[in-house]
Amino acid sequence: MTITQIVDKSIEKLNSNEDLKEFFVDLKAGCLHKIVERRLLKDAGIALPNFDLTHPADNSGLPDIYSQKYDKGLEIKCTFGWPTYSTRKINGYKTSVRISDDKNVQWTNGTPQTNRENFLFIKLAIKDDLLVAERIYYGNVSYKDDWKIHTSKSKIDLRINESTVKSLCKQLR
């Protein structure tokens, strides 16, 4: 079974959960990311039982899906894309107007790190009230060299945009 097939199977199972499906539109990206990550772990564990897959503690320094047998793992990153805004003049006043819900496709990591990992980047969307994986990328990426540090008033995190991911990873869909 390929990575793309496992992602599709996981998304299909999430869409068949009527209780969860009600909340897709309302869920924050981070919350849905964790749900997708855990579903992928379950489905990958079934598809690849000999890999001895686990989800290590978030503060362990290990990737999201980790094979104890092979001592390797996969970091999962999901995004819906970020809204983009344009400044327009309305009634003589400059106003920020939302022009797109997902034009700015970036993935984030809440904790700055320096290691290199195998990543699965998934661009999610909601279409006809169903969760879909629009684009999927796989590759080995360095937090230190390829991700950019982003600083705001409340925190420091890492971000990587889709054009960088496209240049570093293989697009699976």
The tens digit of pLDDT for each residue in 27-68 reads 665 678 889 999 999 999 999 999 999 998 877 888 999 999
Number of domains in the chain: 1
Residues of the chain with pLDDT under 50: none
Range(s) of the domain holding residue 145: 3-171
What is the torsional sign of CA 119, 66, 48, 69?
Answer: positive
Distances (CA, A) of 170 to 41, 73, 130: 21, 17, 25
Q: What is the pTM of this model?
A: 0.84
CATH assignment of the domain containing 138:
3.40.600
